[in-house]
Structure 1
Amino acid sequence: MIEDKLAVLIDADNVSYTNVKEMLEEISKNGTPTIKRIYADWTKPTVSGWKNVLLENAITPIQQYSYTTGKNSSDSAMIIDAMDILYSEKVNGFCIVSSDSDFTRLATRLREAGMTVIGFGERKTPQPFISACDKFIYLEILKAVVVETDDSKKRTTKPKRKEEPLSKVDSKTIKLITDSVNDLADESGWAFLGNLGSYILKMKPDFDSRNYGFPKLLPLIKDINKFEIDERETGKGKIRHIYLKEK
């Protein structure tokens, strides 16, 4: 299967540099990042933290001077580049990394052109930008912590286990999942788990089981305890397919 080619465009003024590696790993799950650019006025001290990670992650910095106080000229440069890339027909999708609602129209326009748009931003990202994307991932769930190994001179990273999830599994979330299962169900009431996640994303682009403290969708489903779960083996390789049905 040929993976989608993705253009990764980062707004350095509106996201943190602390979890760039984890973000790129997440992007790689959705396709191949063939273009990686980051936009800022690099003369400003506020973006100095980014400079140390650009070379390591092969991200091309784009310089954009702030011509007017209070205006973010990097936004305009990023939008212009996105449209140039769109018309070059070299990618199948875009990853827009920002917590700024100014990119709402850009995301909408790219989707109108048939592009897949994946958004990355902090929890503070306005809803209009989230809704304009096919999928939106909160950067907070990708953070890593530094862990000492036996050799004190070496340091490794592992996913951070947050004490508190970004969101609680409330009645609204349960209803969303329940309605989705029922919409996908066959005549006997069973729905294939493999189709559930993508179906929910069409209605709620920022849905992610990790937002609720679960690594995958199935553990979240089991915790809700509202569904029967049927694991079926198919084919010679005994591939396991999981089906759900409301109790």
Structure 2
Amino acid sequence: MIKDNKLAVLIDGDNIPSRYIKEMMEEITKYGTPTVKRIYGDWTKPHLSKWKSILLENAITPIQQYGYTTGKNATDSAMIIDAMDILYSEKVNGFCLVSSDSDFTKLATRLREEGLVVYGIGEKKTPDPFIVACDKFIYLEILDTSEDEAENGKTKPKKASIDKITPKVIRLLRNSVDDAADDDGWAFMGDVGSLILKKQPNFDARNFGFEKLTPLFKSLPQFEIEQRDRTSGRFKLIYVRNKKK
């Protein structure tokens, strides 16, 4: 994750609910600075009226795109054309494509071919081809902390949005630990997290109700966790190892 990334944030206004925008923009700042922020849609249509005040609050530029032909998504085309213009301007080194539409799969692939990092954000209904075309894909549902609150006052994902930890998930975790491990079986947690994302871009500890990857591993009996002192600094390094079956 590169904190000084300059990101172009392109939002499919026809495809994303406006209620997620505040949490979504906060999430994006974890990965870089959003220097370009645009949202696309036909603003003459009543269903997009909820966006208007939100756009001013978040300094997002609305791009008007009329639907010239019935059954064709003009918004998608406008986003793709703008993305390519921004790419060749060389003013950013990453994109955040906000949509649940598989039509942006080829765009994400093309941007990554040029060496740019691509973050996808969309709902859980997003088709797999678009998800795997991104470096990382974040589900909007896990960003919605407007309701359920924990006893300590901190918000947490709504129960309906939390996924179960299946045997398939355990296999992904175990295999990733093995792939990143040293001769003693220990793997640095940061390396494990990076490897998991390469294998499955939509993997996120928050999908399972955990804020970070380390608490997720700690909750599972299949793994051992070890903290090690750094040679410098006050933070400890976290290592994980598969327990023998």
Normalised to the residue count of structure 2, the TM-score between the two structures is: 0.93
Distance across 2 between alignment mates of 1:223 and 1:231 = 16
After superposition, the CA RMSD in angstroms is 1.7
Out of 191, 195, 199, the residue aligned to residue 191 of structure 2 is 195
Q: Which residue of 1 aligns with 2:87?
A: 86
Distance across 2 between alignment mates of 1:103 and 1:113 = 16
How do residues 115-194 of structure 1 correspond to structure 2 at under 5 angstroms?
A: 115-145=116-146, 159-194=155-190
Distance across 2 between alignment mates of 1:158 and 1:17 = 23
1:146 Cα deviation from its structure 2 partner: 6.7
Corresponding residue pairs, total? 238
1:49 Cα deviation from its structure 2 partner: 1.1
1:47 Cα deviation from its structure 2 partner: 1.1
Q: Which residue of 2 aligns with 1:151?
A: none
How do residues 1-247 of structure 1 correspond to structure 2 at under 5 angstroms?
A: 3-145=4-146, 159-247=155-243
SS in 2 for 1:33: strand
Distance across 1 between alignment mates of 2:138 and 2:46 = 27
The amino acid of 2:241's aligned partner reads K
SS in 2 for 1:137: strand
The amino acid of 1:61's aligned partner reads P
The amino acid of 1:9's aligned partner reads L
Unaligned runs of at least 5 residues, structure 2: none
Q: Deviations over 1:5-62 (max 9, x none)?
A: 0000000011111021111111000000000000000001111111120000000000
SS in 1 for 2:68: coil
The amino acid of 1:70's aligned partner reads G
Structure 1 stretch displaced more, 236-245 or 176-185: 236-245
* Bigger strand share: 1
1:108 Cα deviation from its structure 2 partner: 0.4
CA contact (8 A) 2:145 2:158 kept: no
